[in-house]
Amino acid sequence: MNTYVKEISRSMKMLSKNKKTIFIGQSVKYSGSSIYVSLKNVPNQKKIELPVFEETQLGMSIGLALEGYIPISCYPRFDFLIIALNQLVNHADKINLLTNNQFNSKIIIRTLVGSTYPLDGGPQHTQDHTLALRKMLKFTKIIKLSNQKIIYKSYRSALKDKKNKVFLFVEDGNLYND
């Protein structure tokens, strides 16, 4: 396991120690993507495996957050997260406005820009939508994890942050392979 993946895994283990966190998405409990590898140190009782229904997943994450949980909503590819843009742009991003600042929990969203080597996943699995989302989202904090040195600190800061409520972490699939 390389340093980048070790730091992601260490960060997920740290997040899992918080009694309010719950991991939700595809390949969180069963193998199928790089997300799974990064969650091996997270107890299974903290994981909810879901089928392919990205918009519903983010809707569930919002509901869990409204109930006081801190969902870590995992999308194996950035291209899959765009299916959930309605929930992200119109609901999660504006949750404080919609709840008159009564929303007291947070949502952590993880996604990966798919790797282009050793195999290229093609245009449906390797696009980076960070710039577009920075223009669309007004209140979501977007963190691009471009190297292993910032990973743990960034996830820890998101967990402790009292101001920001929704975080989008963009991981680099190519760095999973280094």
| CATH superfamily for domain 3-149+156-176 | Thiamin diphosphate (ThDP)-binding fold, Pyr/PP domains (3.40.50.970)
Taking CA atoms, 103 is separated from 29, 110, 150, 176, in Å, by 28, 21, 28, 34
Residue with tokens 């994890």: 145
What does the alpha-carbon distance between residue 161 and residue 43 come to, in Å, rounded to a whole number? 24
Quick one: pLDDT at residue 70? 97
Tell me the mean pLDDT in the region 49-54: 96
What pLDDT digit, counting tens, does each position of 58-103 carry? Answer: 999 999 999 999 999 999 999 999 999 999 999 999 998 988 988 8
Backbone angles phi, psi at 170, to 5 degrees: -110, 110
What's the whole-model pTM score? 0.96
Per-position DSSP letters for 133-168, written without gaps between them: HHHH-SS-EEEEE-SGGGHHHHHHHHHH-SS--EEE
- Give residue limits of the domains in the chain: 3-149+156-176
Give 16-39 pLDDT, tens digit per residue: 999 999 999 999 999 988 899 999
Residue 49 forms beta bridges with which residues? 25
The DSSP secondary-structure symbol of 35 reads: H
DSSP H or E stretch at residue 97: helix 95-98
Region for 68 from its dihedrals, namely left if φ exceeds 0, alpha if ψ lies in -120 to 50, beta otherwise: left
Pairing of strands 70-75, 107-113: parallel
